[in-house]
Amino acid sequence: MALTTTYLDLVNDVLVRLREAQVASVSQNTYSALIGKLVNDAKREVEDSWNWDTLRNTTSFTTQQGTFNYNLANAGNKFRVIAAHNDTDNIFLQYRPTRYFIQQLLLTQSPQQGAPVYYNHNGVSAGRDGQIDLLPIPDDDYVIHFDLVITEDELSADTNTTALQKNVITSLAWAKAIEERGEDGGISVSSQYGVANKALADAIAIEAARRPDEETVWYPS
């Protein structure tokens, strides 16, 4: 199970580094609230920098005959597809661009039906989860699963947690805080950004060594 850190712990970690008093709540004063905003900014940048193991999840569904559009349950509207698989036929699905799907679904008189082999992103559902289209249009029940990287929600309550590495987030948030209020005799902005970038690069390198063939481009819906 991944270790997690609370929002309040992250904010207090940055405050201590700034030689400020710790707080009992992120909203305790205007400065702690500002640091909270910077922590979320840093967390978002860290999330978008790599397909972190702690953010990986799987969603699956069973197709219905004649239906090509499906929700990726609990994926939200910002996620990365690592792999898609037709479990029933034991084949990987391949991505095809929207132009291909328009041609096949709208410009073809009789779209092909069969076992799905292609997928495409198609907006978000009413519940704000990503949607995908499949081709050929399923002609039977097929179990489809998607391996995803799903971003966490923004931290808001003191007890909200993140599974991302604490030191990477706090190093970057500290740099942003120094930049915001100006250098005050402690570490310089450029030096701290250097520390933060190294912490991020080191964390990525450890995970990248385990997945040398994996691309890292995000596909926001």
In which residue are the tokens 């580094």 written? Answer: 17
Tell me: do 80 and 119 sit in the same domain: yes
Q: Which residues in the chain land under pLDDT 50?
A: 1, 216-221
What total number of domains does the chain contain? Answer: 2
pLDDT given for residue 214 in this prediction: 67
Specify whether 65 is located in the same domain as 107: yes
Same domain, 137 and 117: yes
Same domain for 199 and 159? Answer: yes
Residue with tokens 């990525």: 204
- Residues 118, 43, single domain; the answer is no
Q: Are residues 93 and 25 in the same domain?
A: no
190 and 214 inside one domain: yes
Domain of residue 207: give its range: 5-48+155-220
185 and 211 housed in the same domain:
yes
The total of other beta-carbon atoms located within 10 Å of residue 153's CB is 8
What is the structure's pLDDT at 218? 41
pLDDT tens-digit profile of 161-207? 999 999 999 999 999 999 998 876 778 899 999 999 999 999 999 98
Cβ atoms of 151 and 76 within 8 Å: the answer is yes
Strand partners, 194: none
Of 90, 120, 150, the residue that ends a domain is 150
Indicate the residue among 150, 167, 192 that finishes a domain: 150
Residue 215: per-residue pLDDT: 56
Q: Answer yes or no: do 78 and 22 share one domain.
A: no
Q: Are 137 and 63 in a shared domain? A: yes
Task: Evaluate whether 73 touches 61 at the Cβ level (below 8 Å).
Answer: yes
Write down which residue in 102, 129, 150 finishes a domain.
150
Residues 169 and 93 in one domain: no
The dihedrals phi and psi of 148, each to the nearest 5 degrees, come to -125, 160
* Cis amide leading into 111 (omega within 30): no
On whether both 90 and 173 belong to a single domain, the answer is no
